[in-house]
Amino acid sequence: MPTKSEWQQILEQKLPPKDRYTDRNRAITAYYAQCYLQQPDVFKWAGMAAFASNQVGLALMVAEALMAPRTLAAAPQISGGDGLLTLGAKIYRLGMSIAFTVPVALHDAAIRPLLLNDLELLKQGNDQIFDDIAWAHLAYIQAGIGEIEANVSEIGQPYILQGFRMIDAGVKKLADPDQREAGRALIRKGNITLLKQEQEQTLASCMDNLSRIGKLIVSLGGAMEFEDASRNGAGGSWFTGHFGILPVLSGQVSLDRFEDRWKWLEDEALPLWDRIDTAYAPETSFHRRLVAMAEREPSLLHQITGLLTSGYQVVGLQLPR
């Protein structure tokens, strides 16, 4: 059977390159949604992760749009000989590069230190969570708990091993009507253990390295926004809504600190998810939202970002090589 790195590589090959921020995020989000839709009684963490990754995608769309002006000052080599059209294109590109050198330099100086570096950290966190936990879902689906036990150590990733062992024990109990509730409780506990791996272990370095303003921004914008299956409408939990705006602005609580983050998740976001997940049914808006994510359907914001990036490329006459 494959090793852990081989399982990871199987999934990595299905993702767009890391420099395609939003496309890669949508592929990661899609995988989580597919796992949940395949076994909603089992893969609870994957369902939450789909919505969380989708939220990260909104921030990454901002990063991709802000990076677009850099293409104007980075003229690619234009092939095609020395014809009049090619020569004219080269002159035009040179002129555009000169014209945009100062604005792009100002763009980088003003925006990049304050926002893009922090957004890059969020992208890395999104990638690291996928690399850390997604492979275990694939391994469990295709080969069972033994495959995870063969590739994860108690020392290296104790939460992943503990989590999937509880999930597996719970799945076995589901077949017995007398033990069904105990099985569901084990599955829930196992998935919360995977969430703890994500929040306490995987995200630690990314959160620690955010700038001061970046930590404030993620605290103000931190949310778990779901489609509420029980009401067939929107439903969500916000970090600032749980703690209050003043404690966040003063730095008394911050999303970058695991203790604050986990208290919010444990007190509010997880109970909300439990209620929504329990009410899951194919005809709900919750199901339709998951299907849309699983099929990588672009949101309106994705389409706007794509148009903005394409517009920069048209202005810069970025002809194909």
Domain boundaries, the chain: 4-315
Spatial contact of 141 and 36, defined as CB atoms under 8 Å apart: no
Residue 59 has a pLDDT of: 77
Residue 68 has a pLDDT of: 55
Spatial contact of 49 and 290, defined as CB atoms under 8 Å apart: no
In the chain, % helix, strand, coil (3-state, to 5) comes to 75, 5, 20
Residue 61 has a pLDDT of: 77
Sign of the CA dihedral 179, 182, 184, 187? negative
Residue 221 has a pLDDT of: 87
Please list the pLDDT of the chain residue by residue as tens digits (321 residues): 789 999 999 999 999 999 888 899 999 999 999 999 999 999 999 999 999 999 888 877 766 666 555 544 444 444 555 555 555 555 545 454 444 444 444 445 554 555 778 888 989 999 999 999 999 999 999 999 999 999 998 777 889 999 999 999 999 999 999 999 999 999 999 999 999 999 999 999 999 999 998 899 899 988 888 866 556 555 788 999 999 999 999 999 999 999 999 999 999 999 999 999 998 888 888 899 999 999 988 765 554 544 444 444 444 434 333
Record the pTM.
0.79
Residue 320 has a pLDDT of: 37
Residue 229 has a pLDDT of: 57
Residue 86 has a pLDDT of: 56
The dihedrals phi and psi of 260, each to the nearest 5 degrees, come to: -70, -40
C-alpha closest to that of 134 among 237, 24, 59, 208: 24
Tokens 């062992």 belong to which residue?
A: 165
Structural element, H or E, at residue 124 = helix 117-129
Rounded-to-integer distance, Cα 145 and Cα 133, Å:
14
The dihedrals phi and psi of 153, each to the nearest 5 degrees, come to: -105, 155
